[in-house]
Amino acid sequence: MLGRGEETRRLAALIAAGRRGEGGALVLRGEAGIGKSALLRHAEYMASGFRVMRASGAEFEMELPYAALHQLCAPVLEHLGALPVRHRGALEVAFGLDTGTPDPFLVGIATLGLLAEAAGDRPLLCAIDDAQWLDQASARALAFLARRVGAEEMVVLAATRPLDGPSDLDGLPGLTVAGLSEDDARALLAAEVRAPLDERVRDRVLAEARGNPLALLELPRGVGLTGMAGGFVPPDAAPLTGRIERGYQARLEQLPEPARQLLTVAAAEPTGDPALLWRAAEILGLDASAAGPAQATSLVEFGARVRFPHPLARSAVYRAADPEQRRAAHRALAAATDPDTDPDRLAWHRALAAAGPDADVAAELQRSAARAWARGGVAAAAAFLERSAALSIDAESRVERGLDAAHAKFDAGAFDVASDLLTGIQTGPLTELHLARIDLLRGRLSFVLHRGGETPTTHVLRAARRFAAVDPARSRACYLDAIEMGVLIGGGLRDIATAAREALPPAPHHSTDTVLDATVALILNSDGRSALRSVVADVHAPVWSRHPSLGMLLATELWDFDAMIGLASHTVTTGRETGSFHALPIGLAMLGAASAHAGDFATAMGMITEGETVADVTGAAPLVYPRVHLAALRGRRDEATQLFAEVLAADQRMTLSVHWANAVVHNGLGDYRTAFESARQAIVDDDLGLTGLALAELVEAAVRCDEPETAAEALDSLTERTRAAATPWGLGVECCARALVTGDEDAYRQAIDRLDGSRTAVQRARAHLLYGEWLRREGRRRDARDHLRTAHESLSSIGSEAFAARAAGELRATGERAQARAPHSYDRLTMQEVHIAQLVATGATTKDVAARLFLSPRTIDAHLRNIFRKLDITSRRELRNLPELQDRPR
């Protein structure tokens, strides 16, 4: 490995760690020919005693879901029987061994389990070449695997070219493979070219290759040393990869026609299946004699697999063939492919063989798209549909399939491609329904991409107006989409609600219609709360399956804590049962925030951790608002300040939440002026959800800052919201605020009575704190101590540190010292360790926890050892006795 000292040291350290059961991953990144494949082969050489598993991305297989993953796992499928039933089933469906829809979450963890089983008797090295051409489903599963081998005797290595856009492998440890130094390049060239070499020719080769090892080897072979004209020809301005390809093509030109035709078929068939190749060759009238000359050029190797020496050699052969030769190769491969076992590859070859529009092939591709979608291959479905649209003969089918392809590209995360497809579709004959679908997708794209120009709601409202004439139910759904977008991105809610009210008559026959009409009324200051109350309380209403976040916001607006917990728990359950990329992380975030308000910080930490785990699996950005809620109620100034700054820097849509949270923290710390300013900023837009909570913080801060007019105005606004809701939580918060403004002792007592009927433990403890503070200021120290003691004990038990410290200070002012409590167990653990400890404490087995958190059992055991050490315990039984980790209603 000439000139690769640093790279080989890095690989050696990684392999040594894998032997110790401290597995890891590394992505080698560099241009074509730079030596990534050679480093993979060298790693295999160093990994003596390892079982080596290989896979390679293929440009022509990027549309087939799980193709590369199946290639990697095929040698160890005999271990499938050792996996849990659901994990085994997920892999069997993904690999086409069974029918159904694989759970993408389970495919990743099942792959880890399968390879961990295979590594039972010796360490495992997974070597993945040409990762830039992995199909998306495989890339996601392999990235998941690579991030979770830290406690395994397993090493994952991948080699990829730099990509223009994001990749599922981004975020994994990486190593950029650069060109060789001039001295090393000279040494390599001298070893390759034994004959005397003119210095000008040597300099020309070195200049052209720029340290690229493959170029150093292939440029002299491709054009010959005489072809360089002694170094006097003009320099070639073509990209280096193009020059290397031309070198391969120069060798190709020396072959007889049958050998070139055979190579074209081999280049068009990326799996390297020799049986398939020779069946296709027979269809073309080629016999085995064509293989000899082809193999003699070192362009291909015919063996147990058909292999090219480098991906550039494959692409050079394929590009050298004229279009009709390529189509002939794909026609032969289609004819040689079994339609029962591999219908999708058959359809793809037929598509590439088509010289123009073909209705039969377009329909076949559409069927392949449906199968790919059912198997979790959204990217593959999009590719099939895009090609199907291009081959469609009649305009209507072309538009319909193009729209389906754009939606599939959106679901696959290829947002720019989806946008380009929409632009192309708009040049065709479009109905009002087509235009509505285009507007709706444009709105969703705008919402995801946060780009300038028209806002997402503008597009969605236009879609709603178009749908009104052809599909009224869909039109109403679009208006509700627009309202939810308006809530999440902030501003414009009144305009959206006004447009919805003017456009459509009431249609209260479905939960979506009820929510739309009532929410519009609520935004426009009409009586919408009474109609919303029953549908929000019905956590199983169909509308919430599509709009769980809106349901959570409306439950908060209605001060219905039971609905908040119920909606969150139902969304989590639904997400787990369906494996939904959409529902589970939303439900976990909702349940995390609600648990924080319920005073169950351990569960809140667990839900946050699990939500971030799911985001890691899916590649999505985690929802941060439950962290904001937990930080607010926990009350650690430095920790909260840092988090709030990071959140605002990343997402300005979180402004209202952060201002509310900052007000809570500083009210707890007794920094009422900061709390006052933050609370005022939180209520500026008067949006749904947190505005009511922010009003309560504003009342407290305004009273302490001697701002009576502001306090009174905030109390009036708060009362309007809480009286209409008429829940124990809302009425209790209102009574607290009224007592602060008026000094009415009965209001303090009513607040405590009301909140005793609510599950909002933090707010209940704060009511005792406020009453105790008022009693002390009235000179009634003995009465004050009872309430301050209750507040301190409750807040300390919960872990609400700022308010607990405030209660302790008030107790000292009455002449009583607050009893110090032992630190919480979760203060000594990471958030992930808290979740694992809580799950184990409630009786979950190691395998149960591993499946829940998408980790291997060995990793869970490693975490448990850390947990036992930090908590100074030795068994699961002792873990179950820790009160903070006991199971609570969720």
Written as one string, the DSSP assignment of 823-887 is PPGGGGS-HHHHHHHHHHHTT--HHHHHHHHT--HHHHHHHHHHHHHHHT--SHHHHHT-GGGS-
CA distance 460 to 440: 5
To which H or E segment does residue 630 belong? helix 625-634
492: its two tokens: 């414009």
Report the chain's terminal Cα–Cα distance, integer Å.
57
Amino acid at 644: F
CA distance 61 to 878: 52
pLDDT given at position 233: 37
CATH, range 5-176 = 3.40.50.300
353: its two tokens: 């063989």
Inter-CA distances, 779 with 317, 320, 735, Å = 93, 95, 22
434: its two tokens: 């087509």
CA distance 436 to 471: 10
Residues with Cβ within 8 Å of 56's Cβ and at least 6 positions away in sequence, in order, are 68, 71, 128, 129, 130
Tokens 């609520």 correspond to what residue? 522
User: How distant is the alpha carbon of residue 782 from its chain centre?
Assistant: 55
222 touches 248 (CB < 8 A): yes
pLDDT given at position 669: 96
825: its two tokens: 């167990």
Q: What is the phi/psi pair of residue 715, to 5°?
A: -65, -40
148 touches 863 (CB < 8 A): no
> Hey, do 5-176 and 826-885 end up sharing a CATH topology, with the first three levels equal?
no
CA distance 71 to 886: 44
To which H or E segment does residue 58 belong? none
Half-sphere exposure of 98 (CA within 13 A, CB side): 11
pLDDT given at position 378: 66
3-class SS at 154? strand
CA distance 334 to 352: 10
Residues with Cβ within 8 Å of 546's Cβ and at least 6 positions away in sequence, in order, are 477, 512
Cβ neighbours around 58 below 10 Å, total: 21
pLDDT given at position 312: 74
180 touches 49 (CB < 8 A): no
Residues with Cβ within 8 Å of 36's Cβ and at least 6 positions away in sequence, in order, are 28, 29, 30, 129, 159, 160, 177
User: How distant is the alpha carbon of residue 124 from its chain centre?
Assistant: 27
Q: Which residues of 668-682 are buried (b: 16+ CB within 10 A; e: fewer)?
A: bbebbebbbbbbbbb
Q: Which residues of 771-783 are buried (b: 16+ CB within 10 A; e: fewer)?
A: bbbbbbeeeeeeb
Tokens 């950029």 correspond to what residue? 176
Closest to 313 in 3D by CA, of 39, 64, 32: 32
The dihedral region occupied by 760, where left means phi > 0, alpha psi between -120 and 50, and beta the remainder, is beta
Q: What is the phi/psi pair of residue 554, to 5°?
A: -70, -35
137: its two tokens: 């489903």
401 touches 410 (CB < 8 A): no
Cβ neighbours around 191 below 10 Å, total: 11
Dihedral angle computed from the Cα positions of residues 325, 327, 330 and 332, in that order, rounded to the nearest 10 degrees: -70
Dihedral angle computed from the Cα positions of residues 576, 581, 585 and 588, in that order, rounded to the nearest 10 degrees: -10
Inter-CA distances, 702 with 684, 686, 698, 709, 732, Å = 16, 18, 6, 9, 19
CA distance 747 to 112: 58
CA distance 93 to 292: 40
Amino acid at 770: L
3-class SS at 55? strand
Amino acid at 7: E
Q: Is the dihedral of CA 751, 753, 754, 758 positive or negative?
A: positive
Domain boundaries defined on the chain: 5-176, 182-237, 252-302+319-336, 359-504, 527-623, 826-885
263 touches 255 (CB < 8 A): yes
Inter-CA distances, 40 with 53, 98, 167, 216, 836, Å = 12, 33, 20, 19, 36
CA distance 661 to 646: 14
pLDDT given at position 64: 74
Amino acid at 423: T
3-class SS at 175? strand
Give alpha helix (H) positions in 705-780.
708-725, 728-742, 745-756, 761-777
Closest to 477 in 3D by CA, of 488, 465, 464: 464
Closest to 854 in 3D by CA, of 103, 52, 136, 117: 103
Inter-CA distances, 267 with 38, 244, 272, 358, 366, Å = 21, 17, 9, 24, 25
pLDDT given at position 389: 87
CA distance 169 to 130: 12
> Quick one: DSSP state of residue 590?
H
Cβ neighbours around 85 below 10 Å, total: 7
Residues with Cβ within 8 Å of 578's Cβ and at least 6 positions away in sequence, in order, are none
Mean pLDDT by 10 residues, the chain (890 residues): 91 95 94 90 94 86 81 91 86 80 75 88 93 87 89 94 79 91 84 66 72 74 45 43 70 86 87 87 89 82 80 80 92 91 84 90 88 68 83 87 84 74 78 91 80 73 90 88 81 83 68 86 79 88 89 93 95 78 84 95 91 74 90 94 90 83 96 96 82 95 96 95 90 97 96 92 96 95 94 93 95 87 73 88 85 82 90 86 57
Closest to 21 in 3D by CA, of 112, 154, 157: 154
Closest to 567 in 3D by CA, of 582, 585, 545: 545
Class of the domain covering 359-504: mainly alpha
443 touches 486 (CB < 8 A): no
364 touches 349 (CB < 8 A): no
820: its two tokens: 């110090």
Residues with Cβ within 8 Å of 150's Cβ and at least 6 positions away in sequence, in order, are 22, 23, 24, 859, 862
Q: Where are the beta strands (DSSP E) in 229-304?
A: 301-302
pLDDT given at position 489: 72
CATH, range 826-885 = 1.10.10.10
